[in-house]
Amino acid sequence: MTAVRTVGVEEELLLLDAETGEPRALSTAVLASARRDGAAAGEVFESELQRQQLEFATRPQVRMEDLGAEITRWRAEAARHAEDLGASVAALATSPLPVDPALSTGERYRWLRDQYGLTTQEQLTCGCHVHVAVESDEEGVAVLDRIRPWLPVLLALSANSPFWQGQDSGYASYRNRVWGRWPSAGPVEVFGSADRYHELVTAMVGTGALRDAGMVYFDARLSQTYPTVEIRVADVCLEAWHTALLATLVRALVETATRRWKDGEPPARHSVALLRLATWRAASEGLGGRLLHPLGMEPVPAEAAVRALFEHVRDALEDNGDLVPAQEALAGLLKAGNGARFQRDLRERGDDLRAVVAACVRRTRR
C-alpha cells in the first residue's frame, strides 16, 4: 500500500429558529455553549461572516469511515447546542426562507462591510472546504494546476442551494453565484510553480482590494494554516455521507494530480474563461442537466461528466482503499440526487419552504 494522504473537512451550517425555520443570529450563544461543554467542542466550532452561521472543522483523517463519523458527530453536537437555545441547524448552502443577515462582530468583518457594502451584507452562504495533505507548496501548486477542470463536477455533485430569499433561484447552486461576487473568487490560471502562485497572491493583496491572503477565495488554493491544498468550490452538502463522498473524491483527485505531475504530464491549458463557463453550468444544472466535459469542454449529460471524474481517479481510489465504497456512494447520489434535487422535489410535491427547511434539518443529522 502507498502512503494515504490525510483529509479534513470544514463545514458551515445555518442556525435556524426551531419553529419557523428562519435563520437566527445565534452563533455567539452557540459558541459559548460549546465552550462550556469542554475544550474539544470549544476548539471545533467557530463563528463565520454572519451570526446565522456556525462552522466546524474535523481533524485530519486517513479512513473515510472515521471522517464520516466525525462529520456526523459535530453536526449532532451543533444541533444539541442550538436546541438548548430553541434553535436547530441545517446543512443548507443558502436559506430557502427570507433572511436579513446579521454581520458578526470584529474588526475584520467591519472592514469587509466597509469595503464591499451589499456584497458583504447579503453574503449568507454555507460552503464545504476539503483539505488534503501535500508534501510541499510545489506539490500543492502542481495539484492546483491539474485539478482545475474537474472542480465544476464537484460543485455539481454538492449543489444544495436552489432557493434564495424565498424564491426559486433557477440554479442548483445559487451559493456559487452569490459567492462569486467577491473579487478574488472563482477559477484561476495555471501557475506552473509555487513561486508564481505566491507572487500572484502577494500582488493581489498589494492592490488593497483584499485585506490579506486569507481573502484569496480561489476555488482551490494552498491553505494559509495547514500543509494542505484546500478545495473550496463545493456547497455544504445536505447529508454527512455526501460530504464524506466528496472528500473521498477530492483526495483521489489530489493523488491523481500528484502522480501525473511526477510523471511529467503537463496540466490541461483550459482558459479561465472556459472554466468560468463550466462553473456556471455546474451551478445552474447541478446533476439535473448538462455539464461541460472536463477534458473537451463540450456539453455532455451530467452523469457522463461525473463518470469521467470517477474514471480519472479510479486508480487512486483503489490504492486508497476507497474504490468500492466510493462507487456505491456515488451510485446512490446519482440515483437519489443532491441537496438541490431533494429541496426541489419537496417543493414540487406541494410542500412550502418552511416544510422544506424542516426536512433538511432532519436530513442534516441523519
The domain ranges of the chain are 7-365
Mean pLDDT throughout 301-326?
98
Which amino acid is present at 113? R
pLDDT bin (cut points 50, 70, 90) of residue 351 is: very high
In the predicted model, is pLDDT for residue 41 greater than 80? Answer: no
Residue-averaged pLDDT of the chain? 96
Cα radius of gyration (the chain): 19
In the predicted model, is pLDDT for residue 220 greater than 50? Answer: yes
List, in order, residues 6 or more apart from 359 with CB less than 8 Å away: 342, 346, 351
Mean pLDDT throughout 260-272?
97
Which amino acid is present at 258? T
pTM of the model: 0.97
CATH architecture of 7-365: 2-Layer Sandwich (3.30)
Number of neighbours of residue 119 by Cβ within 10 angstroms: 14
Which amino acid is present at 176? N
Q: How far apart are CA 211 and CA 213, in angstroms?
A: 7
Q: How far apart are CA 322 and CA 85, in angstroms?
A: 39
Closest CA to 130 of 244, 13, 267: 244
Got the DSSP string for 186-234? Answer: B------SHHHHHHHHHHHHHTSSSSSGGG--BSEEE-SSSSEEEEEEE
Tell me the per-residue pLDDT of 104-163, one tens digit each, with 9 for 90 and over: 999 999 999 999 999 999 999 999 999 999 999 999 999 999 999 999 999 999 999 999
For the stretch 80-113, what's the b/e string if a residue is b when 16 or more beta carbons lie within 10 angstroms of its beta carbon? Answer: bbbeebebbbbbbbbbbbebebbbbeeeebeebe
Residue appearing with cell numbers 424564491: 167
Look up residue 146 and give its three cell numbers: 491539474
Mark out the alpha helices in the chain (DSSP H runs). 27-36, 39-44, 64-83, 107-116, 118-121, 137-147, 151-158, 174-179, 194-206, 240-262, 272-285, 302-312, 314-320, 323-336, 339-348, 353-365
pLDDT at 3: 86
pLDDT bin (cut points 50, 70, 90) of residue 233 is: very high
List, in order, residues 6 or more apart from 41 with CB less than 8 Å away: 34, 35, 77, 81
pLDDT at 1: 35
Residue appearing with cell numbers 467577491: 182
Tell me the per-residue pLDDT of 157-214, one tens digit each, with 9 for 90 and over: 999 999 999 999 999 999 999 999 999 999 999 999 999 999 999 999 999 999 999 9
Cross-strand pairs, 7: 61, 132
Which amino acid is present at 157? L
